[in-house]
A and B are shown apart, each in its own frame.
Chain A
Amino acid sequence: MGFLDRFKGQEPAWCPGCGNFAILNVLKRVFSEMALEPSALTIVSGIGQGAKLPHYTKCNTFNGLHGRTLPVATGIALANNKTHVIAIAGDGDCYGEGGNHLLHAMRRNANLKLFVHNNQVYGLTKGQASPTSVPEFKSKTQPFGNPSAPLNPLALAIAMDCSFVARAFAGAHNLPQLQDLVKQALQHRGFAMIDILQNCVTFNKINTFHWYKERTYQLEENHDPGDRLNAFSRALEWGEKIPVGLFYRNARTVMEDNYPMLKEQCLAEMEFDQQKVLRKEMASFF
């Protein structure tokens, strides 16, 4: 059975030509390469076109609310370490509605992976500006262009000392690189973020497939992901040239390791003896 069969889910309801297809296929390929069983995966998503992804593969799924992907994923990671916890979010989902959660997820450094489908536009609600939309992006709700400056997710993540920060482009020629980054992220212990640039064929007529293809280029082989300041300065590059690859990585303590009670077992495996607790704790009130 090929990887596409093992991880075959429901029929995607995305527009033909959507960058999401490429991301979905890459994920399935990585799961297969890593010989993961569907039950060893938990994909958490919010609301958006990309957030439908877990339904289109096979895995444990928590498709929750818009913007709330990371708190749910954090709760799962703290309770149960039996699966890889992957958060799938869009630019509106993760950088807009859930922006505060993103900051704190980076601080916590729980063992979960965040893959952001960043197409610089709101797809599900049909074409409004997203937190990463460029100033000249006009829409029915931003008739004069996007009045707010776009968010730089990579610079933000590096400033927050996020333990794994990468950018990829979901274009045909770049898929091996995306696949490699996804695999590295899954093997990284801690919070890993990949900002995945993708085109929206229907609503983003500025940042088209060709727009990304002409601008993206691979970080040099000798780029040192341990050099935070340099990584930050590379993260500021945006415009005519857009670097992709692994910008920054560190070995910060993982959140779960800061909880002494999680040393031996995960919470979901623990037995509970009510009588023992009752006997001891009731006495403490006397």
Chain B
Amino acid sequence: MDITIRIGGEAGQGLQFIGSVLARAFARHGLHVFSHQDYMSRVRGGHNFYQIRVANQPVRVSKNRIDILLALDENTINLHRMDLSDDGVIIYDAAMTGREHDEPVFLNIPVLAMTEKAGVTKLMANSAAIGAVLGGLDLNLDLFPETIREFLGNKGQGVIASNLAVAKDGWQYARRNGWPAALKFSAAERKGLMLINGSQAIGFGALVSGCKFLSAYPMTPSTGIMIYLASKAEEYKIVVEQAEDEIAAINMALGASFGGVRAMTTTSGGGFALMAEGLSLGGMTELPLVIAEVQRPGPATGLPTRTEQGDLLFVIHCGHGEFPKVLFTPGTPEQAIALTNKAFELAEKYQVQAIIQSDQFLADTEWTYEEIDESSLLYRDHRDRSATVREQEYKRFALTGDGVSPLAVPGFSPRLVVVDSDEHDEEGHIIEDGATRNKMVEKRLLRKLPLLRKEIAPPEYYGHENPKLLLVGYGSTYGVMREAVAELAAGIAIAMLHFSEIWPFPDPENFDFIDVVARAGLAVCVENNATGQFARLIRGETGFLFEASIRKYDGRPFLLEPFLGEVHGLLRQI
């Protein structure tokens, strides 16, 4: 089974609660989930939706075609009805939407009446709706109380019990009142799955990497990472400080890094623009720092709650002057965990800035996993915390073979740690002479670059060995490319090449991906932007010029069916 549920309504109606609880409940039933959110930049009103694809096998992309439309208002019905599948059902409560529908595709579930009958607040109608969906899909309610407890927190047993009571009502109602037979899962007990979204994955990645300090200014869609780490701050002793602006955020994080702890800052494109100066400061002072840049469509304020891959070249080239940096572009939460960890490792090992670039789509999409490979997760403290070394024996920017100088922690020994945004000598003091300048550029940039490049893993390849059509992309297009390949593999030699470690640009030494791209019948660069930034990057780094591309810049993610349509269109050209 592979069912898509779209929950639509106004901001403030609780559709995020319904969606999150359902996604969690499905994962606990051992079902695979892929969810994404489409919301407006407003707190009340407007139109938002939360879409969940739930299946017996792993799913990695959202579909356009939906099977269940849960409408909290009439507007949702009008906007999304045309996407309903032939076996689909529209669930609504006429008392809530204000209009009764007679057609067989509608299932009117009186969730408001259920709350009245139970004598509880109308808000709990959302629990009745959750119950109805679970009941209709033939899933049980055993896990419901513990699931909603996570979302409602310490509201007390009474609240949980009331929610459960109305959920049971909804559950029974859906089972007795004409739920489509085609939309059911077998209720067989299975092992619960891990459910995680992109924001949590970056936050969790930072947590398991020993991040001790996060300073950030809230900015959609990056704020989820800050919220995640703040929720763990007390237990794991992390300072999360909300800065007055992004300039302060990055400078504070660099201060904390200088102070001897693993530090991070998070933002979106506009905030990252303000951080440009600080990024360059990190380059000059060679302080480890991890930055998560969660993209939304620009320019300027753009579409604050929507998605785009428009900041790739900006981020790679950001910061005045020349200095090394690392850029990762995870395509899944699993990659986001591993790459956030790798970002902390490389940032500290080489004393550079490592950036994880995500976007609203990845930030908010929930994925399920049976388990996540922990073997790649490292924690090595690269700082020099020894207390015994004498003052005279330390030079912060000592010239070394690999360009990496020992990073001491101030106040832990008699050594003096001196860093300067000016060009400096080995001790960290201001200089202006050309010879020292040359040595320092060679040390912090030219020696580190090849070493950093060696750390970068090649892109992931999936599909036919000699493809007629090769999809090439990076970041959050992973899922749609991967499912398109799986979907079309029976009919055509198709494959995908996905880059999640993007800068320094991977070395083709071990896996000659340039040759793979050049040999493919047609290589197609897939990007969630208008100008093909990734294609330009590849051309600049390898000389390869893409003849075909699939681009999208309406602020929405790629959905499976329209994407397949674009691929079919290209296939006709081969």
Contacts and interface: CB of A to CB of B under 8 A. Distances in A.
- The answer on A and B forming one complex is yes
B253 A75 contact: yes
B212 interface: yes
B239 A259 contact: yes
Contact of A75 (B194, B251, B414, B415): B251
B120 interface: no
A52 B287 CA distance: 20
A1 interface: no
Contact of A62 (B253, B409, B419, B430): B419
A60 B28 CA distance: 52
A68 B245 CA distance: 11
A149 interface: no
B130 to A, nearest CB: 19
A78 B420 CA distance: 20
Most chain B CB neighbours (cut-off 10 Å) among A62, A260, A267? A62
Contact of B261 (A39, A55, A79, A103): A79
B247 A68 contact: yes
A261 B208 contact: no
Interface in A97-125: 100-101, 103-104
Interface residues of A, number: 53
B244 A101 contact: yes
Given A61-B420, A101-B244, A270-B237, A71 B255 contact: yes
Contacts of B520: none
A71 B248 contact: yes
Given A101-B248, A286-B192, A82 B232 contact: no
Contact of A83 (B239, B245, B410): B410
A80 B418 contact: no
B255 A79 contact: yes
Interface in A48-80: 52, 54-55, 58-65, 68, 70-80
Contacts of A286: 27-28, 192-195
B402 interface: no
B261 A268 contact: yes
Interface in B384-414: 391, 409-414
Interface stretch (B11-19, B372-380, B448-456, B508-516): B372-380
B410 A80 contact: yes
B210 A274 contact: yes
Contacts of A55: 418, 420, 429-430
B410 A63 contact: no
B21 to A, nearest CB: 15
A55 to B, nearest CB: 5
A10 interface: yes
B409 A268 contact: yes
Given A39-B391, A79-B260, A282-B374, A270 B194 contact: no
A207 interface: no
A43 to B, nearest CB: 10
A281 B341 CA distance: 15
Given A44-B255, A55-B430, A80-B411, A274 B208 contact: yes
A103 B251 contact: no
A150 B70 CA distance: 61
Nearest to A103: B244
A10 B416 CA distance: 14
B213 A285 contact: no
B33 interface: no
A8 to B, nearest CB: 13
Given A80-B410, A83-B410, A64 B281 contact: yes
Contacts of B391: 38-39
Contacts of A37: 414
A75 B213 CA distance: 9
B258 A72 contact: yes
A38 B414 CA distance: 8
Contact of B255 (A63, A76, A103): A76
A260 B235 CA distance: 10
A4 interface: no
Contacts of A83: 410-411
B411 A39 contact: yes
Contacts of B237: 261, 265, 267, 270
A38 B416 CA distance: 7
Which A-B residue pairs are the 6 nearest by beta carbons? A75-B255, A82-B411, A79-B259, A268-B260, A80-B259, A71-B251
